[in-house]
Structure 1
Amino acid sequence: MANEGCSKAVDSPFSTDKHAQFILTQINKMRNGQHFCDVQLQVGKETFKVHRLVLAASSPYFAALFTAGMKESSKDVVQILGIEAEIFRILLDFIYTGIVNIAVNNVQELIVAADMLQLTEVVNLCCEFLKGQIDPLNCIGIFQFSEQIACHDLLEFTENYIHVHFLEVQSGEEFLALTKDQLIKILRSEELSIEDEYQVFLAAMQWLLKDLGKRKKYVVEVLDPVRFPLLPPQRLLKYIEGGYTRLQGGRWSDSRALSCVERFDTFSQYWTTVSSLHQARCGLGVAVLGGMVYAIGGEKDSMIFDCTECYDPVTKQWTTVASMNHPRCGLGVCVCYGAIYALGGWVGAEIGTTIERFDPDENKWEIVGNMAMSRYYFGCCEMQGLIYVIGGISDEGIELCSFEVYDPLSKRWSPLPPMGTRRAYLGVAALNDCIYSIGGWNETQDALHTVEKYSFEELETGRQADRLPHVPNRDPPSTLTRGRCSAHPGCHSVATRATLAPGAEAKEPSPAPGPSFAAMEPWLREGKRETERKERGRGGEADGRPSCVPWLGIGPETSARQADTPPLNQPARAQRSLS
């Protein structure tokens, strides 16, 4: 019986990992000491003395190289092509030790070389490393790389990651670098984590608009995965109308957004280039506060930003400060009561109505109210503690002539007499109790070279009421509108994709006496107010405002163009509901 027990004990196999590790350690010592090495591998300019048996046992690639009757099997020096010497050294260390050093700066070359040498364990370890490094900003690059090397495990992982984090992924730069087939594959997936189908449509359009000249031929294929029956018709219509308007205004052209900044010296009368923005952008807002220049929001390649940069003229450097609560382009920006206000604009896929305020001391943006009318690419300026917004484009894609004032303390909006010409992408400035509306664009007249002036002094005193021209509105104002970045006191930004040229706020001297009416008469048109009031059955006053409209067209062509337009229907503005 005792012998049976001993026999059973002898027959039971025992194993230990220590023996295998010991053998591997000893073989590696022999390699380092160049003992029993029977072949040299030439990799680039470096030579590695190794053992055929060890390499053939570790890799099917080397097994075929040394045992399949190839000419390399009898050579003393074998050349290995397509691998860098440093990468090969790491892989050789793995063969002899089972340890591999993987880092962000070598993982791509390492996985390619390991795949070529058929070191499957290294490939798997590299894949696990990449899975741990993945995020919404680099997952597209890893997806494309895994597809290129046919690493199916990593490919499946990155695809699933893209589906789950689609909303974050589609806002990154790498998303726009997808090939057409890769994009279609992602958009067709049933696993996309989205809030509604409109987000898939926006992602497809964003990819097309990145390089419209080359990608427009794919529009049918790229939009085919979008399930249009699930799209809200009104949102799709707004996108089409808004896109058309921006295209007509030259805002979706092939022009590139710029990061360069220029400064104009009013004393020496010349422009100089200063430090560039960190983020190239157009459609941004610019303001001056506390001796600093702030660049706010904007867009590039249809990607809208919420970031804010601050330029210090002393250090001549841009720094990043707090971002807005919403990404915006075509916003209105001005300074009021020691804070920066950002109003309206294009907010994501919608036209924004919210107002944000930036406190430079707390480095914080907060939402403080809403606009009376949503609009974008409008004019904006501050005067005596009030914020004025002018023109812009409505959410119906119509250029506006409307004029409104916002009180930041009471948070109330009030309508004011509109301009005589509809204007979007206009420049606005406040000077000597007047607001100037400069240039701009509308679909009827294209780019505008006319200027209009709104005089508070003449409105308040009425001393020239009988001689002020009536500058009527071309059409009744629409019910909803959206906004544009233009101005703040002393430093306004005209809507353009050209060079951003912010300037320091200038202090104006006391207003000098204006020219006589006789001198101004060739520039102004006498309005036939009494005749127009009789024709429209109106009295001398409309909702508490003087019957005259204090917008003056500056320039002879303005008077001629506006003479044929119908008079302002002021009660229609008074009845508009404010959201």
Structure 2
Amino acid sequence: MEYRSEGREKQQHSLNLLNKIRDMKAAAEMIDVVLVAEDEKFPCHRLVLAAFSPYFKAMFTCGLAECSQREVVLHDVAADSVAVILTYMYHAALELSAANVQAVATAAYFLQMDDVFGVCQRYMMRHMDASNCLGVYLFAKQMGAEDLCEQSRRYLHRHFAEVSLHEEVLDLDPHQFLTLIQSDDLNVSREESILDLVLRWVNRDRPARSGHLAQLLGQVRLELISPAFLRQALKRNTALLCDAGCIDRIQRACEAIRTPQQPSPNLRYGMAVTNLLLCIGNDPSGIRSRHRNYGDASFCYDPVARKTYFISSPKYGEGLGTVCTGVVTENNTVIVAGEATASRLSRQKNKNVEIYRYHQTGNQCWEKLCTTEFRELYALGSVHNDLYVVGGQMKIKNQYLITNCVDRYSVERDSWKRVAPLPLQLACHAVVTLNNQLYVIGGWTPQVDRPDEEPDRLSNALLQYDPSQDRWRERAPMRHAKYRFSAAVLNGEIYVLGGIGCVGRDKGQVRKCLDVVEIYNPDGDFWREGPPMSSPLLSLRTNSTSAGAVDGKLYVCGGFHGAGGIGCVGRDKGQVRKCLDVVEIYNPDGDFWREGPPMPSPLLSLRTNSTSAGAVDGKLYVCGGFHGADRHEVISKEILELDPWENQWNVVAVNVLMHDSYDVCLVARMNPRDLIPPPPDLVAED
């Protein structure tokens, strides 16, 4: 019977062979060739060299003089690199460091050892930073390493503000430096930094470099620099004052700024960053068949440029099935939470809350950040760059139970930690952040004393969490127990508007739609009652806020932050409810509400758990909605803009390529150059 060795036995066989060869080299047994590099000698075996290096294999089998020579001299190869490569051959260990990786890569390239060259490339990719990316880029370009060259070029451009502070950039030769500052892709927010870098580069070796100043200045987009800065640059730098061509160039730029007639120069990459409205999530319906490839994208809108873009959807492929909520962190990271797709859920043992992050600086796609124990009706908050999943309703042994658990996810450490629990179980509550503290407001709490009656009671509690001490404190309670309210932070205070609730603690009394406004002062730990709204406000969004601040004032439109809602005029006494076009504006200076301009038509938000609006540059924008009080009427695909100074709504975009339904609207600073452009026919229509 034929015997076949198992995989583990084969591995042991290979290991034994390697150990024997290594021992023979250490004992100088059967040495048949000596490599010489920088006058240092390395005894070894031809067979081993030929097995690892096509260069040596060709040398030892070509029939030329090297086949019989005892010593082989390696010109232009560092001795230290030869030692590292021989250690790899005989010990299966490649000892790389920041100091030797480029020299080892050069030696591997010379010896045609693609596996070692690939390991060196990956090492440089993993250890790339602002201090070395320029050197890596130049090295990769010289060696023809396309992947490393592209990745280092992208890193160099995206981190150019940091790169320009390091000495490496000042050591470039004139041609390399000129090529670098010509790029549109440099991530700088102001052209002044490019001018400053040019002057630093020249002053590094003025006698040798001042002759290049006029040519370099021609690549600086002086028309994007303030005239005051240009005048100061002339005064401070004798290199500029000594060059008549530079003086003339700066004077012409100042004149062009004062009397703009020609088109402005192209903006650098970093200058194009702007606030965008992100309508995240998608329902495949509503996209015309000729644009079907946009069905897996999420709609974006640039209010300043009046342009539409798209980003990949977190629902794409095996991503999220439902986006429940989202936040934009302090460092502008876009994060959403929801449930996995049905296909993924069928393969998972447990149902989880899935959290995804949009990767702006990488490949512009959503990446799964983490998961946490499944729950519903939770709140998602953030302090600095940490996420908090607070409370909610969990399914335990086929029962839905309201929980008090709080989980914190550190984006920097990529880890979850269960922190101090809430003082009471809560669901359907709201979370806001103020002064680096989390505040949990209202919601449902289990009824313990009379469980056979109504299962849940409303909460009027306000809970404060201090991340530095990992401690919750109960603060002054609200006058009304409530849920489905709107909450916002304005001028260092918390505003809670409307909702469904009752006066005082919930003891079973009648609940109603509220028009009350309660304002919390954290310094004095007290609530005061603001002027009531003219109409009761019912926020259908149960896990977030739906009122927002614009230009120092609160804007509330129907039941949503700018997206209509179902309500009634005056106090709710059972009269007919309808979709509202009402806009109410609260002025904190005078402590009063005034009626704002009505929306062009009554609108109901696209989803009952979402807001369809956001504030950008002091204006309020509403993205889509339903005309009418039910979900069977006309879907609007317009972008509405409310300008507080003009006190009127404007339709700024019509028939946009938006899904019939999306999950959440967020505002984030992004670069349109990283986004998916709209279809050419829609650009032509605009």
TM over 0.5: no
TM bucket by the smaller chain? Answer: 0.3 to 0.5
Instruction: Answer with 1 or 2: which has the greater Rg.
Output: 1
Greater fraction of residues in strand = 2
What is the TM-score when the length of structure 1 is the normalising length? 0.37
